[in-house]
Structure 1
Amino acid sequence: MSLVRLVAPVAAEELGRVHFIGIGGAGMSGIARILLKRGVKVSGSDARGSDMVTELRELGASVHIGHAASHIKNIDTVVVSTAIRDSNPELGEAIKQGLRVIPRAAALASVMAGRTGVAIAGTHGKTTTTSMLTVALQKCGSDPSYCVGGQLVTTGLGADEGSGGVFVAEADESDGSFLMLAPDIAVVTNVEADHLDNYGDPRAVYDSFARFVERIGRTLVVCADDPGAAALIEPARGRGLRVVTYGEAEGADYRIAEVRPDGFGVLFEVVGKGEVRLSVPGAHNALNATAVIAVADELGLPFEVIREGLTAFTGAKRRFEAKGEAGGVAVFDSYAHHPTELAADLRAARDVVASYSGDGRVVAVFQPHLYSRTRFFADEFGAALGLADVAVVLDVYGAREDPEPGVSGAMVASRVPLPEEQVAYAPDKAAVPALVAKLARAGDIVLTMGAGDVTELGPKIVAELSAR
C-alpha cells in the first residue's frame, strides 16, 4: 500500500469520523467495535456481508457492501488493512481529499493510547497468550479492553472495550506493523524465521523484533528457552527496561517444572508459585500461561485468581478447537501454518491420545499456506508432519500470492518421513473428508491444520465419520 501515508498514531478521540475499508475482517472489525463503544462515528465497507458486518451495524456503524469512491463522504480518518490494494476506489478518493489514511496497526495504537498497554509479540503463540491473559484478567475483575487475532471461546469476540485501565493487544509482526505500537509491557514468546516473503531473510525478522523492543515503555517479558527471544534480553536491559524471563531454562525468573499431560489439559509447576492446571493441551501452552503469570505480577494482580483464570481458559477459535466426534474419532482444527506450530500441536495431540487411549493415532490433515512459505519450509513441514501417524497434505492455499511453478503440496508430502502408505497427497480438497474417514479409526485424533480454508473440513470429516 504505497499510497498510505504512515502518520504517527493519535489518540482515539482525535480520529474524528472513522471509515474502515475492509471493515468485516477479523482485525479491522475489532477496532471498529471498540471505537463504536467509545461513541466514535464509524462507517466502513466490505466486499461481502457477514455476521460481523451485521453486528457492527447493530452497534451503530454504517457499512456498505462493495467499494465505491462515493462512500468517502464526511470522513476524517480512513483505516485500511494490508489486503487493500492501491487501486481501491475508496483509498484513492481518501487520498484525493487529503484525509488522514492509516493502517490497522496505527488505529490499534490509537485505541490503546491512554491505557496501560500490554502487547503480546512473537512468531508463534501470540493469539493464545493474548487470549489467556485477557481471560485471566477478566477473572480478576480488572475488565481489560482487548484486541486478539482470533476469537475467545468464552465471549465469541476477538476484541471488546472494557471498563478497566489495561489494554491487551496481539502485536502482529507479519508486515512489520507492530512497530507502530508503544506498549508499557510486552511479551516476546519466540523469534523465528517466518514471513520471508515480506522480510526477505531471517536477519530482518530478528532486527524487526529488536526495533520493537525499543518501543517498550517499561517491561519486557521474554521466553528464556527460545534463542531468538533470549537475544533481546541484553539489548533491552541496555535500554533500561525491566526484563523478566520465563521458561524451563535454569535461571529463568519464572521457571517451569514438571510439565505433564492431564487429559485434555496440562499440569505444570511454576517454581516458587505453585501448580497450574490448564484446560488446553500441550507443553507449549505451559509456556504461554507462564508468560501470563509474569505479566499479571507486573500488573500487581494476585496469583491465586490468575491461576483460576488460566484453568478457566478453554481456548481461542482455530487453536486446537474441537469440531466434533463420531465413530470414536475426535476432530480438531488448528491455525498452525509454520513448522514449529505444526510440531507443537502434533505433540499436544499425541499427549491427548496417550491420556485417553494407548492405541489411538494422530491423523494430520495439513494445508500449506502461501507458495513462498511452502518453498522456504518444505523440508521443515515434512519433518513436523512426521510426528503424526498418518499425514494427509492438501495443495497450497495461495491467499495473496500467485502460484509458483513446481511449488505444491506434493513438495511437503514427499518429505514426510513416514511409510508411503501413511502419507497421502490430496490436491482435491473436496475428496479429503471421505479419505480421512476411510483412514481414521476409533481412538484416533484428526487434526486439520493451516491458515487457509482447511478449517472448513472439520465438520465435513465428522459428517463422513458419522455416515460410515
Structure 2
Amino acid sequence: MSEFITTGALEAGVLSALQGSLVYLIGIGGAGMSGMAKVLMKGGCIVHGSDMQPSQSLLHLEELGAKITLRQDGSWLSPQARLVVISAAVQEDNPDLKKAKGFGLQVIKYAQMLGSLMGDKVGIAVSGTHGKTTTTAMVATLLKEAGEDPSFVIGGEVPGLGGSSGLGSSKYFVAEACEYDRSFLHMRPQVGIITNIEEDHLDYYKDLEGVIGAFRNFAQGVSRNGLLVVAHGDVNIMKAIPQDVPCNVETFSIGSASSSWRATPPVRGGGLNSFKVYYKEDHYGDFALGVPGSHNVKNALAAIAVGHWAGLPKEIMQKALKEFRGANRRFQMLDTVRGVTVIDDYGHHPTEVCATLQAAREHFQGRKLWCIFQPHQHTRTRFFLSRFARAFREADEVVFTDIYPARDSKEDMESVSSVDLLKEAQREEVRALYVSGLDNVASEVYPRLREGDVVMTMGAGDVWKVGVELVSLLRGGIRLRRTGVGGSTAWQRNGHYDGQGLKRQN
C-alpha cells in the first residue's frame, strides 16, 4: 500500500509531495476533474482515471498522457495509487471507490484536492449560484494578460486561456468554488467572490437558509488580510456576510452609488457592451465587454475589483475585457449558416435561463429566438417548475426534451417529467413543444427554421449535441425560406407526441 499524504502536505500544497506518483481520479471527465487532471500531469504526476461516458475531455486527457477507462468496475485501479480523488457525484456504492477502500488507499474529494493545490499560492476563489465559470475565466484572463501567469481550474473550457486549467509560475491560483456538498469550504483563499446567492442544489441543502449558511462559512474562510467581493443589493448575500467577517469587503453593482464598484447601464454597439466604471466616488475608467448581457457586466466588475486588489494596470484590464470571448457553453456562438445563428449555453437554473434569453434578445434584436431546453436534474425541475415556465417568456419558440438525470433517485425520476414543464409553460402562454429523445430534436426543429432565426440550445447536460447537429444540417441541407419574427409554420401545442414526430396543423 502506498504511503498516505500527510495532513500538512494537503494543507500546504500537495503537488511537490505527489511528483512521480500515481493519482487515480474517479469521475475524471467532469469539467473540474478534467481540469485538475491536467494540473496534476503538468505538475509531474501520473494520472489514471475512470468515467461513465466518453467525451472530448477524455480524449484530450489521453492525448496528454492520462490512462482512462469507461469501466468503473475497479479493474483499472492499482494498489500502487498514491491518492484517489473522487468527484462530488461519486456515490458510496461506486465499484472503483469500494475497490480503493478495499486496498486501503487514501481517498479525498475533488474539492479537498482543489483546496490543497491552492494551499501554497495566493488563492482566489469565485463562488455564487450563477456566473462562477465566466467570472473565474475573467479573473484568470486579467492576470494572464498582465503577465502574472496564474494557475487556474475552471468549470468549463476557456479558449482564450488554452483550456479549463493551467499550472502557472506566478503566486496566484484562481479556482471556481462550487457550493454543492459545501465543497468550497475546503478552500481558504486570500480573495473570495460571491456573485449572487439563490436557492439551488436543494437535493443537498434542506432550504435556502442552508445555502446561505454555507456561503456564510465560505466568507468567514477568506484570509484576514484578504478581500471579499460581493454583489451589492443581494438580500441573501447580506444575510450571509457576518458582521465579524475578518477581511475587507467590497461590493459591485450596476447603477448603485452606494456600492464600492459601480457600472453605468451598458450601451450595446459594435458587438460590445460599453460602460463606465466608478470606484467609490471616482471615475475609474471606460470599459467595453466582448460578451453580451448585463449579468456579464456585473461579472466583469467583480473581476475588475480583484484585478485592482492585485495591482493590475487598468489599461491592461480594459483591453483584456474588450477581447474576452467567454467560456465554452456560456453563450457560445457555434456558427451562423445560411442566416441561422446557433448558440449553446449551460444555463440550467430559472434565473440563468431568463438572463441568457434577455441577453440574446438584446444582442439579436428583431430576430426570431428559439430555445431548445434540456432540464438538468429531476429534483431541480420539480423544485423550480413554475419559475422555469415563466423564464421562457423571452423566447418565441421553446422546445423541451427529456430531463437529464444527475444524482436523481428512482423516486425523483418518477416525480416529474418534461411534459409537466411543457404544461406549466403553456399556462404561462409560452409557445412550447416537447420532443421525446434528444436524438430526435434537431431533425424536428431543422425543417421549421428560416433565415434570420437564432437557435439557442440550453442546459447542463448534453443538449449541446443538438446544436452541433443543427449546424451540420444547415451546412448540408436545402435552402431556407425567409420569414418574419413570427414564422410561418404553426405547430400543434397540446403537448402530445405520437412517437412519429411533432404534428403540424393543417
The separation in 2 between residues aligned to 1:232 and 1:195, in whole angstroms, is 17
From 57, 71, 79, the equivalent of 1:73 is 79
Aligned to 1:442: 451
- TM-fit CA distance, 1:198: 0.9
From 357, 370, 379, the equivalent of 1:346 is 357
Pairwise mapping of residues 84-233 of structure 1 onto structure 2 (< 5 A)? 84-217=90-223, 218-233=226-241
Q: Deviations over 1:377-427 (max 9, x none)?
A: 111111110111222222211233235335111222223368868322222
- TM-fit CA distance, 1:60: 4.4
Does residue 390 (structure 1) correspond to residue 388 (structure 2)? The answer is no
Aligned to 2:367: 360
Q: Is residue 136–residue 307 contact of structure 1 (8 Å, CA) maintained in 2?
A: no
Q: Is residue 386–residue 418 contact of structure 1 (8 Å, CA) maintained in 2?
A: no
The separation in 1 between residues aligned to 2:405 and 2:328, in whole angstroms, is 22
- TM-fit CA distance, 1:305: 0.4
Aligned to 2:463: 454
Greater displacement, 207-216 / 420-429: 420-429
From 256, 259, 262, the equivalent of 1:252 is 259
Aligned to 1:44: 49
Quick one: structure 1 residues 428 and 87, their matched pair in 2 at CA, closer, same or farther if it must change by over 3 Å?
Answer: closer
Aligned to 1:26: 31
Q: Is residue 20–residue 78 contact of structure 1 (8 Å, CA) maintained in 2?
A: yes
Q: Deviations over 1:246-291 (max 9, x none)?
A: 1122311101113122344311111211221111111100000010
* TM-score w.r.t. length of structure 2: 0.85
Q: Is residue 77–residue 99 contact of structure 2 (8 Å, CA) maintained in 1?
A: no
The separation in 2 between residues aligned to 1:313 and 1:335, in whole angstroms, is 18
- TM-fit CA distance, 1:51: 4.6
Aligned-pair identity (%): 39
Gaps of 5+ in 1: 1-6
- TM-fit CA distance, 1:297: 0.8
Q: Is residue 367–residue 450 contact of structure 1 (8 Å, CA) maintained in 2?
A: yes
Aligned to 1:404: 413
Q: Deviations over 1:400-456 (max 9, x none)?
A: 323533511122222336886832222243332233234433222111111112111
Q: Is residue 220–residue 244 contact of structure 1 (8 Å, CA) maintained in 2?
A: yes
Task: Provide the alpha-carbon RMSD of the alignment.
Answer: 2.4
Q: Deviations over 1:116-138 (max 9, x none)?
A: 00000000000000011111211
Which amino acid in structure 2 is aligned with residue 296 of structure 1? G
The separation in 2 between residues aligned to 1:417 and 1:85, in whole angstroms, is 37
Q: Is residue 23–residue 46 contact of structure 1 (8 Å, CA) maintained in 2?
A: yes
Aligned residues: 458
The separation in 2 between residues aligned to 1:347 and 1:78, in whole angstroms, is 43
The separation in 1 between residues aligned to 2:347 and 2:68, in whole angstroms, is 32
Which amino acid in structure 2 is aligned with residue 284 of structure 1? H
Aligned to 2:320: 309
Q: Deviations over 1:175-225 (max 9, x none)?
A: 211111111101000000001011121111111111111111121000103
| Structure ID, larger Rg | 2
Aligned to 1:381: 388
Quick one: structure 1 residues 275 and 415, their matched pair in 2 at CA, closer, same or farther if it must change by over 3 Å?
Answer: farther
Q: Is residue 353–residue 444 contact of structure 1 (8 Å, CA) maintained in 2?
A: no
